[in-house]
Amino acid sequence: MGRGENAAVDAARQAIDWAIDAALGAFATAALVSLLGAALSQVHSSGAARALELTAVFTGLLAVGCLASGCVVLLRETKIAVDIVSEEATLLRQQLATRNKQ
For the segment 35-85, what is each residue's pLDDT rounded down to a tens digit?
777 777 777 777 877 788 888 888 888 888 888 888 888 888 888 888 888
Q: Return the SS3 of 43.
A: helix
Count of CA atoms in the C-beta half-sphere (13 A) of 4: 0
What is d(CA 27, CA 36) in angstroms, rounded to the nearest whole number? 14
Look at residue 31 and tell me whether its pLDDT is greater than 70.
yes
What is d(CA 18, CA 70) in angstroms, rounded to the nearest whole number? 8
Q: What is the pLDDT of residue 3?
A: 63
- Percentage of the residues of the chain whose pLDDT score is greater than 70: 90
Nearest to 59 by CA among 21, 28, 38, 15: 28
Q: What residue segments make up the domains of the chain, in order of their start?
A: 3-101
Nearest to 68 by CA among 32, 9, 27: 27
Predicted model pTM: 0.62
Q: What is the DSSP letter of 45?
A: -
